[in-house]
A and B are shown apart, each in its own frame.
Chain A
């Protein structure tokens, strides 16, 4: 699992495809569709047990076979519980894969960050929206000397990756970056994904946990 994590972060190929013909991308993703894509995030609940909500919105005219992957890095101050996620996968179909084993009890200063691979599934009733709610937990922090009494844990924005089976080129034009990441939540094998950079979402969300 750890090795896998290292692999995924490695950008294996940086393909710069020159201007290709017209707006007729192989898999139906037009430039216009790309512009309709937005990503927004929020953190619900309070205390040590939170819910990280990620919302991907786009024009509903996307191909059936298109898959979305959010690579969410968590800092050392927070973690996702693999056993809770496994139970949620059975109950609600939430698909999350972790890139490493997680110590559920260690304080922040004895932990390291890791990545979650979140595979949002499409809601049949509202094809415009892909929403995932992932439970995350704050770790205990070092007692503060200054008497501040709490610690802020910043959650950086996820990387948005797209892939469609049997489709080598998703976008009609423009430079784009292909990265390796797990094909699905079931399978540890790697696939090539197209990384999408969304200019509008650089806002960090954060949670605050008390420290003694």
Chain B
């Protein structure tokens, strides 16, 4: 047993095995799609492929209904049309494994042994969730690799590379935009910004705080990231016009999906969909998110992996629309957070079980609504609230059991 474990945890064995399993799953998907009524391939993958087909015909990818992504994705996936329909899936599973490679690098630079780093990476590499999601043709793994790449480059002070990846990730999906504040705080000039020792009046402290943001590193990061984001936006606006802005950004900002989902807001938004309050309520729902993200940024910016993990988990849990594929956005950061979490394996498994139970409790009434036609709107909403409670509890556990010394030491070193 021990021999098997130590072999599996050897870096190349683990990564090759993980890649091989994913390739097998992609192959199985082709087989299942051909032979069975229930399809393996995610519906979104057909949306991407259809959008790519429109691109190869010289048309706008937005001619495909429900294509709500950057045209860049449809451009990247044009080999789906020209080469093989599974090109996108192969890309997603490859990127999945590259994400773990980046995790491994980050963990090793923290002083972890190769084998220990592998054991944490295996939580991603051998995890059925990312395996299933990317082999079914969902593009979330692209965001995982961009976010991990940004963190990895930031840690190594490759600021231009980091900024490029960050700008690209915000262009691909808007949620990493919230990382801007912790990134800015961590790139601040600490000598001018450090207020703890001074007894200066408040006005001066604020001035110093703001002055701390004016330094070469931060400006460089902001210019490159902003340039990449604006560059892509201008390019695609020029090519596809207002429809691009509407579908890629505005739709997600103003989205008030009234169909059932994990969000605590879903039932309220459904009931008020036609009231004149609807828009105001939709915007007000951003406030708890905003307040929490601000607090987390200020408290944990010195440990960016933890900060981004908390940011994403809060953003997803408190969002107006919440579906299970969003969970992957923060799961990819979990292997970076876990090593510093001072909880026993038992406690960890307990929290995991709690998380799955929360989803199960939601899934039951959702199934009865969707497939049995029973009026379970109210239980679904209650289950959504319970799931929010569970997520909040887990986040509190993560924060309170995180190895604080590391943060303090980082601050001292800075």
Contact = CB atoms under 8 A, between A and B. Distances in A.
A105 B271 contact: no
A184 B265 CA distance: 46
Nearest to A50: B373
B238 interface: no
B369 A47 contact: yes
B377 A212 contact: yes
Contacts of A91: 37
**How many interface residues does chain A have, given as a range?**
20 to 34
Contact of A142 (B39, B274, B371): B274
B59 to A, nearest CB: 15
A207 B372 CA distance: 12
B268 to A, nearest CB: 10
A47 to B, nearest CB: 4
Given A140-B270, A143-B270, A210 B375 contact: yes
Interface residue SS majority, chain A:
loop
B220 interface: no
A91 B38 CA distance: 11
Contacts of B378: 212
B131 to A, nearest CB: 24
A212 B258 CA distance: 11
Interface string B355-387: 000000000000001111111111000000000
B371 A47 contact: yes
A149 B375 contact: yes
Given A143-B270, A212-B271, A105 B372 contact: no
B66 A104 contact: yes
A208 interface: yes
14 contacts: A46-B372, A47-B369, A47-B373, A49-B370, A49-B371, A83-B50, A87-B39, A105-B259, A150-B373, A207-B373, A210-B373, A212-B271, A212-B375, A212-B378
Given A47-B374, A210-B369, A212-B267, 4 more contacts: A101-B65, A104-B66, A109-B274, A210-B373
